[in-house]
Amino acid sequence: MVRWKAVIVKPPAIATADCVGCPLKCVFCWSNAPRDNPSSIGRFYSPHEIFKGLDACAKKHGYTQLRVSGNEPTLGRDHLLRLLELVEGHGGYTFILETNGILLGYDVEYAKALSRFSRVHVRVSLKGTNSNEFAMLTGAVPEGFELQLKALKNLINAGVSCHPAVMLSFSTDEGLNELLERIKGIDVSLAENLEEEYVFLYPHVERRLKAAGITPRLAYSPSDIPKELV
């Protein structure tokens, strides 16, 4: 299920479609019902309908980037690949694929399928700097962290444009340095382009953190988010 909307962010501006459902249950996630009860949100949209909505939004605001975000867009493989075909056929946009990378790390053929598209850039959002942090923050088995790193390797090997982002609100400097070394082992450019993420303390996010007994080292209120993190 996907519903599209205009998200006005300067700079850069990007037309965004919200998707629902995710295999991870990140304690810091801002998504609420769309993640935990996806059948209660919106309706199913075809790839053509999504592209039509994104295209209209982008043309209205003069955007050159599109994305599907909010949860995990790689869950619907055929659906996503058809959408990317439509983006490729248009020729005027760059599609930013935001993902936790689990499926791309698990299935090398999925990463290879993305190499067919010249207008796709993949942003792999790492959940912490190591397997222990990953398990604490997502509720998933620690081995899932290795799949996130494997996603970066698979994408690089397939020649797909990508970069990593990492949630650092719960990490130490030592953990970050160790992660950077691991990422350099995949490709030096990935470490050079590592994007930092931090917790935004929306009310339901604060409730989740409190229930889990987890306190971030660094977090921001929604009214005081640094421009570089927007």
- Token pair 């609420």 is found at 32
Q: Which residues pair with 65 in a beta bridge?
A: 94
In this prediction, residue 230 carries a pLDDT of 65
In this prediction, residue 2 carries a pLDDT of 39
Domain that holds residue 76: 2-229
Per-10-residue mean pLDDT of the chain, 230 residues long, equals: 36 83 90 70 90 96 94 95 96 94 98 97 98 97 98 98 97 97 98 96 92 94 78
In this prediction, residue 33 carries a pLDDT of 60
In this prediction, residue 36 carries a pLDDT of 73
In this prediction, residue 198 carries a pLDDT of 96
In this prediction, residue 228 carries a pLDDT of 72
Q: Note if the pTM is more than 0.85.
A: yes
CA atoms of 93 and 104, how far apart (whole Å): 23
In this prediction, residue 222 carries a pLDDT of 86
Token couple for 2: 């996907």
Token couple for 195: 């994007």
What CATH number is attached to the domain comprising 164?
A: 3.20.20.70
Dihedral angle over CA of 202, 206, 212, 215, nearest 10: 110
In this prediction, residue 84 carries a pLDDT of 98
In this prediction, residue 41 carries a pLDDT of 78
| CB 124, CB 101: distance < 8 Å | yes
| CB 65, CB 93: distance < 8 Å | yes
Q: How many domains does one find in the chain?
A: 1
Q: Using the 8-state DSSP alphabet, how is residue 30 labeled?
A: -
In this prediction, residue 6 carries a pLDDT of 35
In this prediction, residue 34 carries a pLDDT of 62
CA atoms of 29 and 12, how far apart (whole Å): 22
> Can you list the positions of beta strands (E) in 154-194?
162-167
